[in-house]
Structure 1
């Protein structure tokens, strides 16, 4: 069965355009990947097939695949000559730009153990992760200088106003050879950090030679194709952004990157660059459709895919995207530990706007009741998965998988008769109210559907009498109705018509804004500050 799955996956990759049709380009690209691994060999793979095609576009300009390869190889030679063998640890703390991708590929080509750091980190988190993951060097953006100070070792700036500075990547690679590097002493490794909002993120080691089912499964649900342009707003350091970035470049397509998300600029570049796909997180899509008439007036005739991932997508936003952009929305559900788990296509979302889609070939989803037995169709339970891209263990040796290989996602949900997955919320965020399981995310999704709510967060807070209660933090929309008419009683009347009484928050607090991280999730710092201010 596994052989059949891999054969079918190979066919999917061929049809999508992953495999160069020129035998000489295929041979040269394949040799580079065999020597340097999928990430390290990726630039040479693209350069062999289409050297003059644009690979990367960012805030500074663009790189062709040939330029991408030469820049990557120079940096790989520089890193290998300056860092300890056989396998240095290199952290990357960057926003979305070309040299962030160059650094990832170059460090891999140098045989490093690459650790992708969250751009929301402060110096203490950088220091803790650097110690735990045994980092020998750090590549960072100049704006993260304070955070990077938590690492005591060689540091180089990837994005700096002074590219000639001694600490810049440009200076580091100056004068180095652009030739394909030699095979490293050890195969490269990659660690992606978990994206939870509390505690120090764990390290999830990703395979540098994954099953063909990983890229093929995504392509069967989100039909990216070769030679197109993809605007990636989701952060590259996160699993969702990473898989799209590497798959786009492997397809020979152009990856368009912005260091910071700005809905107006995204709309402009979707038109100017004639992008066929936008890849984002739900918060970004919410800001895009909020542009209203500007979206309606834009020429988005090339846009055939809008893909959301990294956080839960609510049904109201699904409807808003469909109205503004047409039937182009795809919704990916996954985790750092499992890679992606299920993907909802536009057809799925038309029937069930709140679903997370159907698992692709090679992925198995099981719903387990509280005793561990498989739950029947429609019954809620723990979401257990077995995917081709899941990790065996965290870098600290701890595991989330059962003895049968199924990984507990930490979420609860159910499957319908058509095999579509529905996610209720995090198991550890669930509270019991009136004998019913209540998930803060369910209330949050209902609040976000209100036209005068710009943002919302619902959290469980300790309660002396009931153990826990729900508190809702709301940001009013910047409109007369939002500013003047949306008060606590209006919110309660709205929720009473949408949800059972047990879901009603005990407290509703209006705030000016909710600070979210790069993946659109509320940070632990934000939640702590709200809790401190409002008790």
Structure 2
């Protein structure tokens, strides 16, 4: 059994709370919500996101037909939005603007082009693209054809790409031209270019060229529905393919938007990469709100702030690394932009370090919603701006129809005040890994791989990965606690902590530190700061300075690429 987490040498008081899917318990409360309360909750969310709103009968019937034909998912989301708001801008990107009506027609042409190239039920299509309209078109068109979407990380190496496409049986690769060198081992006749730069080779077909002469007629639902394969971060090894099943009904959407208050017809700056589950869920669920998406191929704090101001964006979707870069932007870049329209800054993909959320909200708006989950689990908890103000670093509370339990290593539910393995159950189905394996379960709930606890107000805190915990001098120690302490030092811009063998303590912590430009700090300074803020056994025994940490696009540190500690 794991002991309660310690902070600064003193015990932290914990208590346990959960939100039950079936009984209707509200997270962090013993109140049982009635069926009528559930109905009221559903109507409130559906009105806010714009599904229930006045529309012309013809457009409403057309949207309803799309949903009835396809069920919840990308094809119905695009078709329904195009039916209701054909003239509304769907996407602002580096190529310009496109309306929902135009996007739907382009997707239907592209779907036919893919079918003519042999894409059908069960056929795998590798996708290596940045955020832009052609990635959106590929996501929807492959699903309309019934294919398997293999969403590949834009930081994949040539060997990774070769092995993953071979392992998953990809028959077509739709990639941006900048990744041609990475895709050098893929047969050229299997490649279609999505975004083609000016120097792209003329002998390769593009999404635009293969779609140009195709009909824009709507497509029938394939015999077998399409499938989405998202690859895990692969921070310690080759990424695993995780099958994400499209939702069967509106319950996942209601849970998500019940906790993160999107509004219908909002402009959404979607900066998080769409190949990752966080960007993808905001795109897919967002379709139901009839949004306008702002997509950029490369992240730039200055461009994000400009887009929020220009388009009066209500929603910004980011990973924590992007929040850090926005906080670190020059005062001139921040002060010259009016971002008062920003109501939601939805963040996930890696841990929010220390008081980062509050630093962001102090500079911009009180808008940060922290989503804790994983590719396999979907969501576990979601923290509101109020939660993050009251309890910096919290992962939040279980949303509607979500069960979270803290279990020991034997699968037994722990009493209040204990730290253990976080297990979750929700309405986001996980289809298992493509190698046939799946996550482990206990008490009907999925093992997240994380350790955590609830505070007295029902907020979850994540102590760290269960395999990251070390035993130092007989004490259980989590790297996350030291990371949160060090990142608050004014001279430190980035940090990650790992466990190493130690002859005196058995195991100890090693810190990898990036120093802010114009600042100075040495190993003694790092250790002195740690001694002031964490328990003695959590002070690093080794400190290594790097120019930057090897992070993937979602902000997770690629630990296999870290050098041996100094």
TM-score (norm 1): 0.93
CA-to-aligned-CA distance 1:126-156 (integer Å, 9 cap, x gap): 2222233222211111111122234346111
Whether the 8 Å contact between 2:449 and 2:466 is mirrored in structure 1 is yes
Distance 1:211 1:500 in 2: 48
1:21 is matched with which residue? 54
Whether the 8 Å contact between 2:258 and 2:400 is mirrored in structure 1 is no
**Of 61, 68, 79, the match for 1:44:** 79
Unpaired runs of 5+ residues, structure 2, are 1-21, 25-34
**Of 353, 357, 372, the match for 2:396:** 357
Structure 2 CA distance for partners of 1:509 and 1:126, relative to 1, 3 Å: same
The 5-angstrom pairing of residues 46-85 of structure 1 reads 46-85=81-120
More divergent stretch after superposition (49-58 vs 506-515): 506-515
**Of 153, 158, 163, the match for 1:128:** 163
The 5-angstrom pairing of residues 456-495 of structure 1 reads 456-463=495-502, 467-479=506-518, 482-483=519-520, 486-495=521-530
Cα distance, 1:117 vs. partner? Answer: 1.1
1:372 is matched with which residue? 411
Within the alignment, does 1:255 sit opposite 2:328 as a pair?
Answer: no
**Of 115, 128, 140, the match for 1:105:** 140
CA-to-aligned-CA distance 1:47-103 (integer Å, 9 cap, x gap): 100001001111111110011101111110010111154431112111111111111
Cα distance, 1:257 vs. partner? Answer: 0.9
CA-to-aligned-CA distance 1:462-485 (integer Å, 9 cap, x gap): 446655432111111112xx13xx
Higher relative contact order (CA 8 A, sep 6+): 2
Distance 2:203 2:80 in 1: 31
Distance 1:20 1:112 in 2: 33
| Alignment root-mean-square deviation, CA | 2.1
Whether the 8 Å contact between 1:377 and 1:416 is mirrored in structure 2 is no
Distance 2:185 2:455 in 1: 48
Unpaired runs of 5+ residues, structure 1, are none
**Of 218, 228, 231, the match for 2:269:** 231
Whether the 8 Å contact between 2:124 and 2:147 is mirrored in structure 1 is yes
Cα distance, 1:443 vs. partner? Answer: 1.2
2:204 is matched with which residue? 166
Structure 2 CA distance for partners of 1:85 and 1:261, relative to 1, 3 Å: closer
**Of 250, 269, 272, the match for 1:212:** 250
**Of 465, 472, 476, the match for 1:426:** 465
1:415 is matched with which residue? 454
CA-to-aligned-CA distance 1:459-511 (integer Å, 9 cap, x gap): 223446655432111111112xx13xx11121111111100011111111111
Structure 2 CA distance for partners of 1:353 and 1:109, relative to 1, 3 Å: same
Question: When the two structures are aligned, how many residues end up with a matched partner?
Answer: 527
SS at match of 2:290: coil
2:492 is matched with which residue? 453
Structure 2 CA distance for partners of 1:516 and 1:46, relative to 1, 3 Å: same
Distance 2:514 2:120 in 1: 51
Structure 2 CA distance for partners of 1:262 and 1:395, relative to 1, 3 Å: same
Distance 1:382 1:457 in 2: 22
Superposition misfits of 4+ residues, deviation over 6 angstroms = none
The structure richer in helix per residue is: 1
2:127 is matched with which residue? 92
